[in-house]
Amino acid sequence: MAAVTADQKTQGTADTADAEHLAAFDAAVAADDRIEPRDWMPEAYRASLVRQMAQHAHSEIIGMQPEANWISRAPSLRRKAILMAKVQDEAGHGLYLYSAAETLGTSREELLDKLHAGRQRYSSIFNYPTLTWADVGAIGWLVDGAAITNQVPLCRCSYGPYARAMIRICKEESFHQRQGYELLLALSRGTSAQHEMAQDAVNRWWWPSLMMFGPPDDSSAHSAQSMAWKIKRHSNDELRRRFVDICVPQAEALGLTLPDPDIRWNEDLGQHDYGAIDWTEFQEVLKGNGPCNEQRLAQRRMAHEEGAWVRDAAAAYADKHAARPGTAGAAAQHVEATA
C-alpha cells in the first residue's frame, strides 16, 4: 500500500523546493539582506506586508482630510502655503506606498475598494476632529512625530520597496514635524488666546498620539511575527516610550504642558514613565465609534464615486487614442492604469 501517486510525487518535489526557498528567505532576513519583489517569500509574509503597506497608504490619504479642513481658513498666506504643500506631500506618500504595494501583486484599485468597503484599516488617529487652527500644529508635532518614531525603523524593513519608500517619506515627515512644532511655538508665544488654543490642542491630541503605537506588547496581534521577519524592528511599547522621551523636553521648550500628571523621569530605566492609557477608547475608535470614523470614510467614498466618471473618461480616451502619437493618450493611460 505504499504506492506513491504522481500528485504526491509532485507535492513532494514542491515541498522540497519550498523548504529550500524558505531556508534562503530566512537566511536573507537573518543577514539583513533586502527581500525584493521577484524573490520568493512566504505567503504569510506577503500578506502581512500588503496589510501593513495598505494601511499605511490609506492613512496617508485619509489623513489629508483633517488637515485639508483648515486650508481654506489658514490665518496667513505663508501658513497656507505650508499646509497645502503638506497635504500634497501626503497624497504623494499615498502614491509611493500604493506603488510599493503593487510590487506584491496587488493593485491600487483593489486596495481602495477594500478601504471603501471597510475591510482594510487606516490609522485611528485620523478619526479625531481638527477643531481649531492649533490642531494643525498638534498634528504636525505629535501625530507626525509619533509616525516618524514608528517609521524610521521601517527604512530598514526587510522588504526593499517598502524600505526605500520609507526613506523618502521619513525625510518629508520630519520636515512636517518641525513645521508643526514651529506653528505651535508661534501660538504658544502669541496672544493669550493663541496660547490657550495651542494648549487645548495638545490636551486633545496627546493621548490619541500615544495610542498610535498600537496596543501594549502583550496584546499586539501582529507584532511577534513582524519582528521575526524584520518588517518591524522595535516593539510598540519601546517606541511609545521613546516618543515620550522625545516629547517631554520639546513640550517644555514650547511652553506647553503634556496632559499627564504621571509623567516623570525613571532613573533606573533612564527613560520617562507615563500614565495609564485608556485602551477602551482605543478599542472603541478602532471599532468605528470614534468621533469622525463615519465622516472620514464617507468623504473618501464620495470623492471616489464622484470621480468615477472622470476616471472612466480618461480610460475611454486612452483606449481611443492609444495608437495615435502626439495626443494625451499616454498620460490618460497612466491615469487609467493607476486609477
Partner 1 sequence: MTAALALGDDALVLSHRLGEWAGHAPVLEEEVALANIALDLLGQARMLLSFVGDEDQLAYLREERAFRNVQLVEQPNGDFAHTIARQLYFSVYQHLLYEKLAAGQGEFADLAAKAVKEVAYHRDHAEQWVLRLGDGTAESHERMQRALDALWRFTGELFEPVEGVDVDRHALRDGWLAAVTSVVERATLTLPSGPQSGAWAAGAGRQGLHTESFGRMLAEMQHLHRSHPGASW
**Based on CB atoms, which residue is closest to partner 1, 216 or 329?**
329
Report how far residue 26's alpha carbon sits from residue 4's, in angstroms, rounded to the nearest whole number.
31
Pairing status of strand 264-266 against strand 271-273: antiparallel
Binding footprint of partner 1, residue count (CB under 8 A): 59
Q: How far is the CB of 69 from partner 1 (least distance, A)?
A: 8
Residues between 48 and 77 with contacts to partner 1, criterion CB under 8 A: 61, 64-65, 68, 71-77
Looking at the DSSP bridge assignments, the partners of residue 272 are: 265
Report how far residue 246's alpha carbon sits from residue 252's, in angstroms, rounded to the nearest whole number.
11
Q: Which residue has the cell 492609444?
A: 322
Find the binder of partner 1 among 46, 51, 80, 116 (CB under 8 A). Answer: 80
Q: How far is the CB of 270 from partner 1 (least distance, A)?
A: 38
Report how far residue 155's alpha carbon sits from residue 165's, in angstroms, rounded to the nearest whole number.
8
Q: How far is the CB of 87 from partner 1 (least distance, A)?
A: 5
Q: Please state the φ and ψ torsions of residue 117, each to the nearest 5 degrees.
A: -85, 0
Q: Count other Cβ atoms within 10 Å, centred on residue 205.
A: 23
Determine, following the binding rule CB under 8 A, whether residue 186 of this chain makes contact with partner 1: yes
Q: How far is the CB of 67 from partner 1 (least distance, A)?
A: 8
Q: Maximum Cα–Cα distance for the chain, whole Å?
A: 89
Report how far residue 317's alpha carbon sits from residue 50's, in angstroms, rounded to the nearest whole number.
31
Residues between 88 and 147 with contacts to partner 1, criterion CB under 8 A: 88, 91-92, 94-95, 98, 108, 133
Determine, following the binding rule CB under 8 A, whether residue 326 of this chain makes contact with partner 1: no
Residue 169, all three cell numbers: 517619506
Q: How far is the CB of 95 from partner 1 (least distance, A)?
A: 6
Enclosing H/E stretch for 88:
helix 77-102
Report how far residue 133's alpha carbon sits from residue 190's, in angstroms, rounded to the nearest whole number.
13
Please give the span between the terminal C-alpha atoms of the chain, in angstroms, as a whole number. 56
Determine, following the binding rule CB under 8 A, whether residue 85 of this chain makes contact with partner 1: yes
Find the binder of partner 1 among 54, 87, 244, 285 (CB under 8 A). Answer: 87
Residues between 148 and 177 with contacts to partner 1, criterion CB under 8 A: none
**Based on CB atoms, which residue is closest to partner 1, 50 or 87?**
87
Determine, following the binding rule CB under 8 A, whether residue 327 of this chain makes contact with partner 1: yes
Q: How far is the CB of 142 from partner 1 (least distance, A)?
A: 19
Report how far residue 4's alpha carbon sits from residue 125's, in angstroms, rounded to the nearest whole number.
56
Residue 224, all three cell numbers: 511577534
Binding interface with partner 1 (CB under 8 A): 61, 64-65, 68, 71-81, 84-85, 87-88, 91-92, 94-95, 98, 108, 133, 183, 186-187, 190-191, 193-194, 299, 302-304, 306-317, 320-321, 327-328, 331-332, 334-335, 338-339
